[in-house]
Amino acid sequence: MISSRQFSRQTKEELTITKKGENIYKRKDGRWEGRYRKGRNEQGKLVYGYIYGQKYREVKQTLERLKARQTFSKQLTTQFQGTVEEWLVYWLDHLIVRQIKQSTYASYQTKMRKHILPYIGKKKLLHIEKKDITALMLLLADKELSLTTIHNVLTIFKSAMNKAYLEKAIPENPCDGIVLPAIRKKDIAILTREQQRILEKAALKEPGCSPIIIALYTGMRIGEIGALTWSDINLESKTIQVVRTIQRVSVPGKTTKTEIVFDLPKSKSSVRKIPIAQNLLTYLTKKKAEAVSTYVINYKHAYAEPRLINYWFKKTLAKADIEPIHFHALRHTFATRCIENGSDIATLSRLLGHQSIKLTLDTYASSLWETREKAISILDAELNLEE
């Protein structure tokens, strides 16, 4: 009797074709052939498809995937059979609407309507392939959209497709293996100490409480400052509680194109307490005594939305003879001053409300260079070359 060890791997593979129902055969040219049912023609006759490979195992695995996909497609006859547009609407309005903020919902809806649905919205969800997603990426690039916008649009689409796969609305995820375009980070704008001094001097002349002063000494975002009320500021415990934000969001399908929305801050970590230092405490105490509104930054006794705060900011920059910068630069300036004065990254990350320390490190890597140089210099002082 011949031992099984004497058989080659290929000989063992050939023996497996004795299994009934596999429809895998060894061809004369040495390749393996797998046959599967594709369906029936107009006359009702079975139509077969064929796949080929150099190894039995490869053909068997491919055949199993094809058969599984066919079985899945048959099961879907009572499930989702709609278009990409129908799935995206269902995904946004029923599957994730309660998991995201109102401003995020509005952002998703706008990007879907403008950048996804016009191109692949009418295509059947089951027919979406990788080449469709690649084509969408190229179309978005041709529109000369920023890399950030393209990245955001494709991230939304990938999330919707991932959910479709998890919900078994599609047999395979067409986004698997799709690499989003890399985003080149821009250098963050930061005020020099002299520019900051000049801007503060101009801001302190403003009649009400200045959003510039709050941003420079708390690092709060513009929406967080706009939504800040005096009840969020505890002068006795010297703390500011960040619990909400204000945004103007797009509202597709309504007469007014945008509307003001109060919502939770950007992330869970953005809900935070910020300590108030003595000079800022003195400033806020004085402004609270003069307050005519429940909002710290007010317009006509009500809130001041970010667009209005930005308008005031530009006017103050012009008065201070400082080149135009984004309001968010004040947050970056706050972070940079903290680093320059020796603040540790973990503390800074909590003050800024970042989701992770890594985000803080990535954002302020260049600002940390001077701190790293000082650390190396301290160690270097221990080296005695005279010994």
pLDDT band at 17 (very low <50, low <70, confident <90, very high): very low
pLDDT (0 to 100) of residue 202: 95
Structural domains in the chain, sorted by start: 4-78 (no CATH), 84-166 (1.10.150), 193-374 (1.10.443.10)
Mean pLDDT of the chain: 84
Collapsing DSSP states into helix, strand and coil, what is residue 218?
helix
For the record, the structure tokens of 347 come out as: 């503390």
pLDDT (0 to 100) of residue 13: 46
CA dist 99 → 12, 70, 273 (Å): 53, 33, 24
The Cα–Cα gap between 14 and 24 comes to 10
- Residues with Cβ within 8 Å of residue 178, at least 6 apart in sequence: 130, 133, 134, 154, 158
The Cα–Cα gap between 363 and 73 comes to 46
Check: pTM over 0.95? Answer yes or no.
no
Cα Rg for the chain, rounded, in angstroms? Answer: 31
pLDDT band at 373 (very low <50, low <70, confident <90, very high): low
Closest-CA residue to 157 (of 129, 119, 126, 116) = 116
The average pLDDT across 122-144 equals: 90
Residue ranges of the alpha helices (H) in 76-129? 84-90, 102-111, 117-120
The answer to whether the CB of 47 falls within 8 A of the CB of 40 is yes
**What digits encode the pLDDT tens for the residues 178-201?**
887 777 767 778 899 999 999 999
pLDDT (0 to 100) of residue 12: 47
Range of weakest confidence among 123-137, 216-230, 244-258, 263-277: 244-258
DSSP 302-324: EE--HHHHHHHHHHHHHHTT---
CA dist 247 → 154, 171, 243 (Å): 23, 39, 14
pLDDT (0 to 100) of residue 343: 86
pLDDT band at 265 (very low <50, low <70, confident <90, very high): confident
